[in-house]
Structure 1
Amino acid sequence: MMDTIKIGLIQASHNVEGSEPVEVHKAAAIEKHIKLVREAKEKGANIICMQEIFYGPYFCSEQNPKWYSAAEQIPEGPTTKRFIELAKELHVVIVLPIYERVGVATYYNTAAVIDADGTYLGKYRKQHIPHVGAGEEGYGFWEKFYFKPGNLGYPVFKTAYGTIGVYICYDRHFPEGARVLGLKGAEIVFNPSATVAGTSEYLWKLEQPAHAVANGYYVGAINRVGFEAPWNMGEFYGQSYLVDPRGRFVATGSRDRDEVIIGEVDRRLIQEVRDAWQFYRDRRPETYEEMTSLLP
């Protein structure tokens, strides 16, 4: 396996007005992102990750049953199938964050992982689901209206280019799952997000470098850009980045434009840091039992 891996992080705006049919949103976003995936490949990316629910707006700004029709089965749905073919054609690993439907009406915020030969490796379902207002107009992060909490644990995926994990948006505020991913052998953890400027923006470049340092892995953090009508709940401020196991920023994107951010992972650094900072050796899991029993 290669010592050096190139990572492509895709941040993009979504400019289709929210009142348009769901199919219009999906078609426009999918075509845009296929072009961006191809650009990432041209720039040498081996593993590519897109933003949270990449194929439309951040519709959780409102509570509207219209958006349930955006959900698809994984891997049987048309979007996963299309990107399976693209991954195979370009020989890249793709982390594909989409809205998942299971059965008749069960929904998850999910990321599918596709290997470089087009093999579907599995999926991660977002575990921590926010539900909070963000403005006087009633817009917010109304995710419990759309998603059940994940029920697949914290899987890692052995790809052609390295072992990866996924942690979606709001998950980043919780260190427990980030630690599990490291204990399971993740070398790179991707956090596809949709987050706006405001009280938590300063955490964007604080929490995830801390996860990288605490667990001795790289973190790829992806955030969309721009304002999305008609909600205009805030600015999606981009600044996607790759951070290394020492907490150093390897590559950082702009605040306000569509962009493919390319960063390089040195797999030798992961082992070097884990050997130097023996956090896994020195942890005391037998003393942590009460953490799961304490109520807020």
Structure 2
Amino acid sequence: MSCGSVTLAQGPEGQGQSTDFLRGAGSLAEASPLALSGLKLETPCVTWCLRGDPGLLAQGGFQGRKLDLPLSALVNASQQDFELLAFAFEASEEQLRPARLIRVGLVQNRILLPPDAPVSEQVGALHRRIAEIVEVAAQCGVNIVCFQEAWTMPFAFCTREKLPWTEFAESAEDGPTTRLCQKLAKTHNMVVVSPILERDEAHGDVLWNTAVVISNSGAVLGKTRKNHIPRVGDFNEATYYMESTLGHPVFQTPFGRIAVNICYGRHHPLNWLMYSLNGAEIIFNPSATTGELSESLWPIEARNAAIANHCFTCAINRVGVEHFPREFTSGDGKPAHRDFGYFYGSSYVSAPDGRRTPGLSRTRDGLLVAQLDLNLCRQMGDLWNFKMTGRHAMYAEELAKASQPDYRPHIIKE
């Protein structure tokens, strides 16, 4: 490995990694045996600092320094059984601008109760789990935390059934999940991005796939919705909600300008582009996607978007398999089944210079902490000039023509 890895246990994914967490471990090495005595070393590994991943490094992957974390955060993550990774991206030093250092936290998790458990119990269990992880994020100095798509529920949109799944929907402005996130935001001085199934009570009770952005003051800063709705495989989401009408809002926070490109929107380059043109420095991509369909695309799309748009991107996916009470089909020739497939986690952060962190586990709950220097956005813009050379006016004209029903493709033949 090119650098050290500190783990608090050895699990199935920890083979080949160092489990000697006292050697070269900084603050951990200085901890007394008494302070470490409560750790359960038989639990799966919690990684502290930069994990050497030969496959990733061979692809021109993460090149940076380890991000030291408090012992309390490491202990809590181990005791609560979720992975904790931390990395730092650095920018070139400037003479007129100080470094703009902020920390983001990406949370991935599985559902805690089976989908046929009472709705209120499922939501309550997830609320408690996320509050635990956010507490550790606060100990790690996180300024902005983002959860996975529709984090308060199973991703039941594959079933095409309405009840009980629509009962998970709630108000973006004052629903129980938003109230919880307001409390967490204010308590920890942290911006919270909370993707939920929204019940728009002011407009006919219709449903939306929505991300609520809550300021570190605890106020609801605003909301954004999913711009592109999939119609592929078991992604039967159009049975529940349609495309957003809110455009591409960017939210000014004390920790930078952020946007939220929900799930399937990552497959659409113009979606990323519009958030970038509106000034986003960090674009979160909370998702729920499965291995058979998209895992080969996952490491590429958010990373490419970071490069093309001179911004940081944060790709977040849930983990596990969710088994539903009744079988369903999606008209794709597959036999009836009760699960969507395997949600493979692997959440990661990419920088505008093409670097990216290793991903979180494919199988475990996790918190990925990344320290970003937002000066890197403008530095890469000055280097590559994509926003200057992008020829947006030309493409706007050509796309306007291509959108007309009488458009004829410009094909030259012999």
Shorter-chain TM-score bucket reads over 0.9
2:359 is equivalent to residue 249 of structure 1: no
Q: Which amino acid aligns with 1:124?
A: T
Q: Which amino acid aligns with 2:294?
A: S
Q: Which amino acid aligns with 2:139?
A: E
2:366 is equivalent to residue 266 of structure 1: no
Q: Which amino acid aligns with 2:235?
A: F
Distance 2:386 2:104 in 1: 26
> Residues 208 and 225 of structure 2 are in contact (CA less than 8 Å); yes or no, is this contact kept in structure 1?
yes
Aligned residue runs from structure 1 range 150-165, under 5 A: 150-165=244-259
2:222 is equivalent to residue 125 of structure 1: no
Distance 1:3 1:250 in 2: 19
Backbone CA RMSD of aligned residues: 1.5
Aligned residue runs from structure 1 range 159-174, under 5 A: 159-174=253-268
Q: Which amino acid aligns with 2:344?
A: Y
> Residues 112 and 125 of structure 2 are in contact (CA less than 8 Å); yes or no, is this contact kept in structure 1?
no
Quick one: which of 79, 85, 93 aligns to 2:177? 79
Correspondence for 2:207: 107
Aligned residue runs from structure 1 range 208-219, under 5 A: 208-219=302-313
C-alpha displacement of 1:251: 4.8
For structure 2, the residue ranges without an aligned partner over 5 or more in a row are 1-97, 325-337, 406-414
C-alpha displacement of 1:293: 4.2
Between structure 1 and structure 2, the one with the greater Rg is 2
Correspondence for 1:70: 168
Quick one: which of 34, 52, 74 aligns to 2:149? 52
Aligned residue runs from structure 1 range 179-194, under 5 A: 179-194=273-288
Greater RCO (CA < 8 Å, at least 6 residues apart): 1
C-alpha displacement of 1:161: 0.6
* SS across alignment from 1:206: helix
Distance 1:227 1:292 in 2: 42
C-alpha displacement of 1:43: 1.5
Correspondence for 1:177: 271
Identity, in percent, stands at 40
* SS across alignment from 1:250: coil
C-alpha displacement of 1:193: 0.3
Q: Which amino acid aligns with 1:71?
A: A
Higher strand proportion, which one? 1
Quick one: which of 194, 197, 212 aligns to 2:291? 197
C-alpha displacement of 1:23: 1.7
Correspondence for 1:283: 390
Distance 1:161 1:275 in 2: 22
**Stretches of 4+ aligned residues off by more than 2 angstroms:** 230-233, 292-296
Q: Which amino acid aligns with 2:361?
A: S
> Residues 106 and 148 of structure 1 are in contact (CA less than 8 Å); yes or no, is this contact kept in structure 2?
no
Correspondence for 1:294: 402
2:336 is equivalent to residue 224 of structure 1: no
Correspondence for 1:88: 186
Aligned residue runs from structure 1 range 21-32, under 5 A: 21-32=118-129
> Residues 250 and 264 of structure 1 are in contact (CA less than 8 Å); yes or no, is this contact kept in structure 2?
no
Distance 1:131 1:79 in 2: 28
For structure 1, the residue ranges without an aligned partner over 5 or more in a row are 134-139
Q: Which amino acid aligns with 2:394?
A: T
